[in-house]
Chain A
Amino acid sequence: MSDEMKDGENMSTANVTGSKALSDVAANRMKDRMPGTTPIGTGLEARNIHAWFSKHLAVEDVSLDFNAGTVTALIGPSGCGKSTFIRTINRMHEFIPGAAMAGEVLLNGEDVYARGVDVTKIRLKIGMVFQKPNPFPSMTIGENVLSGLKLAQLKVANKDDLMEDCLERAGLWSEVKDRLGAHAGGLSGGQQQRLCIARSLAVNPKVLLMDEPCSALDPGSTLRIEETIHELSKTMTIIIVTHNMQQAARVSDYTAFFLSDGGPGKLIEVGPTSEIFSRPRDQRTENYVSGRFG
């Protein structure tokens, strides 16, 4: 009960409107830790990414660098290719029949699409959290956290410690520590999503992709996840797709704006989040972040 109240209070302060206030939030966030200065995490570069669904070109020529230990938000209206773009990064795009891509994704300088690369190992290094919370319903909470180890056939010395550590970092430990044996389906949507984050952490990824992780959640849960992102960014590189510009301002160091003019989605502009929200170079970015369309 008191937790909810606290969440509510936080929300009212965080839920500010207007680009001026937004940029203030972002500036505070920037002061907290300068992006790209932390040596931890792993660098990721996307070069000239194109993505097709059959004949339809969905993403055209996107190049983006993600510095180690930063949070980058991808914003833009629906259908601008943000999700498709991040799905090319951990090679989830290729599961769709007829999907194709061009370009390179370099993880610490190595092309994840190179011949001879074990794609399952790539997905261990580049974890993903999806839009809809998707814990394995037949498993318990604890089993869900450790499911990645089983799926990727990894061994760890102490599973209980790892489980606690992951749930702690995902901000869920205190809520579930007494019912690790319960089935995951009984958790709320927000708890399920944090469970999914904990699950991706268990295989120790260097990069975490988040595809609109809060779009199915209430404001309180959203805030908890944003706090989690903030914590995680100390140890890994995070890329988050979001429709919520305030969220982008709150959680990210860098923001990239995608747009489709009816054709394929393109990268319009990228820069430090405070700049994108306060003084974007491109008029279209300005129009979008000020809420004139999208």
Chain B
Amino acid sequence: MSSISPSQTTVSPREIFTKPRVSDRIFRGVLNVMSFSSLAILTLIGSFLMLRGFQTFQSEGLHFITGFDWNSTVNDGVETSTFGLGSMLIGTLLISGTALVIGVPLSVLTALYLNFYAPMQIRKFMITILDLMAAFPSILYGLWGYFILMPMAEYWAKLLNKYLGWIPAFSVPQPAFTRSPFVAGLVLAIMIIPIITSVSREVFSQTPLDRIQAAYALGATKWKMIKTVVLPFGSGGVVGGAMLGLGRAMGETVAVYMVLNIAFSANLKVLYGVGGNVASMIVSRWGESTLLESKALLAAGFVLFMMTLVVNFLANFIVKRAIKSGK
């Protein structure tokens, strides 16, 4: 034993080498290429957006992020323009924030129900339904939101405004309740429920059994056990799941485009029918954009790309840490 201790320097560990077979090396090579291709594609998309939008970043500078006006006019072949993405960034945050406020509690309660209360059959059935919801094309949510949810949400919005209008976020300058960030947030909330529920369920199910038993053995009811053991254990995972949901909500295009009145105005009033997010704004402007504006839209795309990337990275980090550490 003592001969391999590091204090005696005469012996160094042997290098252990396994010569792989040719077939194994080919397979490994193919896997390497395949797995790095997604990284390559991501990098290419990012650089493409960056390069194409570069001119806008250069001419607008910081105004591109902080400015609220977005105009481009062509007079006698000379294009004059100013591009500020500020109102859309505010809109993005407002809409996805609304989606989280509505979606997270619903998801956490659903996850708790599925993990701790639902009978086995219902649990399996519900999980299938939720997976299906996650895979649904967003245009369907948009259509449903437009025809079904919007009239109902308008009524709820009026109620909120009537009773909670003294809170600045729930006030409106004019009674225009349709196509508001609130409606878009509702649609998005429904779209992000599957992902947040799924992550929360995963984390809750990792709760150590001995802690659950300890709580029950002390005379806890199920709810008390959940409050004392499961929620503290799973809180990190819920935050991570919410971030993943946020990532999806920020990038959502079609559903928001259908239910929102997209306008460049720095609107912080969630019930007021004016707003927009970066993704849906790009779609709405793309068809009629001038040369300069199309570059600005690509620059906006780059901003969205970075935001989504950062949020998703953070989310993955938090979820992984929450599952591994188990506090």
Q: With A121-B219, A136-B229, A152-B220 known to touch, is A196 a contact of B214 (CB < 8 Å)?
A: yes
The answer to whether A92 and B214 touch across the interface, beta carbons within 8 angstroms, is no
Question: Contact mask B207-248 → A, CB, 8 Å, 1/0?
Answer: 010110111111111001100110011000000000000000
Question: Contact mask A65-92 → B, CB, 8 Å, 1/0?
Answer: 0000000000000000000000000101
A148 contacts which of B213, B219, B229, B327 (Cβ < 8 Å)? B219
Please, how many angstroms separate the alpha-carbon atoms of A150 and B327 in the complex?
A: 21
Please, how many angstroms separate the alpha-carbon atoms of A199 and B213 in the complex?
A: 13
The answer to whether A130 and B213 touch across the interface, beta carbons within 8 angstroms, is yes
Q: With A90-B217, A123-B216, A123-B217 known to touch, is A153 a contact of B211 (CB < 8 Å)?
A: no
The answer to whether B219 and A147 touch across the interface, beta carbons within 8 angstroms, is no
Please, how many angstroms separate the alpha-carbon atoms of A138 and B220 in the complex?
A: 17
Question: Contact mask B300-327 → A, CB, 8 Å, 1/0?
Answer: 0000000000000000000000000001
Q: Is A239 an interface residue (CB 8 A)?
A: no
The answer to whether A92 and B216 touch across the interface, beta carbons within 8 angstroms, is yes
The answer to whether B228 and A134 touch across the interface, beta carbons within 8 angstroms, is no
The answer to whether A152 and B216 touch across the interface, beta carbons within 8 angstroms, is no
Closest to B214 in A: A134
The answer to whether A152 and B219 touch across the interface, beta carbons within 8 angstroms, is yes
Please, how many angstroms separate the alpha-carbon atoms of A153 and B120 in the complex?
A: 30
Q: Is A223 an interface residue (CB 8 A)?
A: no
Q: How far is the CB of B134 from chain A (nearest CB, A)?
A: 27
Q: Is A142 an interface residue (CB 8 A)?
A: no
The answer to whether B228 and A120 touch across the interface, beta carbons within 8 angstroms, is no
Chain B residues with CB below 8 A from A124, complex form: 218-219
Q: Is A132 an interface residue (CB 8 A)?
A: yes
Chain B residues with CB below 8 A from A200, complex form: 217-218
Q: How far is the CB of B325 from chain A (nearest CB, A)?
A: 10
Q: How far is the CB of A2 from chain B (nearest CB, A)?
A: 33
Please, how many angstroms separate the alpha-carbon atoms of A199 and B208 in the complex?
A: 18
The answer to whether B219 and A120 touch across the interface, beta carbons within 8 angstroms, is yes
The answer to whether A151 and B210 touch across the interface, beta carbons within 8 angstroms, is no
Chain A residues with CB below 8 A from B233, complex form: 138
The answer to whether B225 and A132 touch across the interface, beta carbons within 8 angstroms, is no
Q: Which residues of B, 101-123, contact A by the 8 Å Cβ criterion?
A: 120
Q: Is A43 an interface residue (CB 8 A)?
A: no
Closest to B217 in A: A128
The answer to whether B213 and A92 touch across the interface, beta carbons within 8 angstroms, is yes
Q: With A120-B219, A124-B219 known to touch, is A150 a contact of B214 (CB < 8 Å)?
A: no
Interface centre among B211, B214, B233, B327 (most CB of A within 10 A): B214
Please, how many angstroms separate the alpha-carbon atoms of A104 and B11 in the complex?
A: 68
Please, how many angstroms separate the alpha-carbon atoms of A241 and B37 in the complex?
A: 58
Chain B residues with CB below 8 A from A151, complex form: 215, 218-220, 224-225, 228
The answer to whether A138 and B232 touch across the interface, beta carbons within 8 angstroms, is yes
Please, how many angstroms separate the alpha-carbon atoms of A200 and B224 in the complex?
A: 16
Q: Is A203 an interface residue (CB 8 A)?
A: yes
The answer to whether B219 and A136 touch across the interface, beta carbons within 8 angstroms, is no
Please, how many angstroms separate the alpha-carbon atoms of A221 and B120 in the complex?
A: 42
Q: Which residues of A, 1-16, contact B by the 8 Å Cβ criterion?
A: none
The answer to whether B218 and A148 touch across the interface, beta carbons within 8 angstroms, is yes
Please, how many angstroms separate the alpha-carbon atoms of A199 and B233 in the complex?
A: 20
Chain B residues with CB below 8 A from A127, complex form: 217-218
Question: Contact mask A242-273 → B, CB, 8 Å, 1/0?
Answer: 00000000000000000000000000000000
Chain B residues with CB below 8 A from A181, complex form: none
Please, how many angstroms separate the alpha-carbon atoms of A135 and B228 in the complex?
A: 12
Q: How far is the CB of A95 from chain B (nearest CB, A)?
A: 7
Q: With A134-B211, A151-B228 known to touch, is A203 a contact of B219 (CB < 8 Å)?
A: yes
Q: A130-B213, A134-B213 are in contact. List 17 more A-B contacts (CB 8 A).
A: A95-B213, A97-B120, A123-B217, A123-B218, A127-B217, A128-B213, A130-B210, A134-B210, A136-B228, A137-B327, A148-B219, A150-B224, A151-B215, A152-B218, A152-B220, A196-B214, A200-B218
For the complex of A and B, list the 7 residue pairs with the smallest distance between their C-beta atoms, beginning with the closest.
Answer: A151-B220, A152-B219, A148-B218, A124-B219, A134-B210, A128-B217, A134-B214
- Can you list 30 A-B pairs, Cβ within 8 angstroms, ordered by A? A95-B213, A97-B120, A120-B221, A123-B217, A124-B218, A124-B219, A127-B217, A128-B213, A130-B210, A130-B214, A132-B210, A134-B208, A134-B211, A135-B214, A136-B214, A136-B215, A136-B229, A138-B232, A138-B233, A147-B215, A147-B228, A150-B224, A151-B218, A151-B219, A151-B225, A151-B228, A152-B220, A152-B224, A199-B218, A200-B217
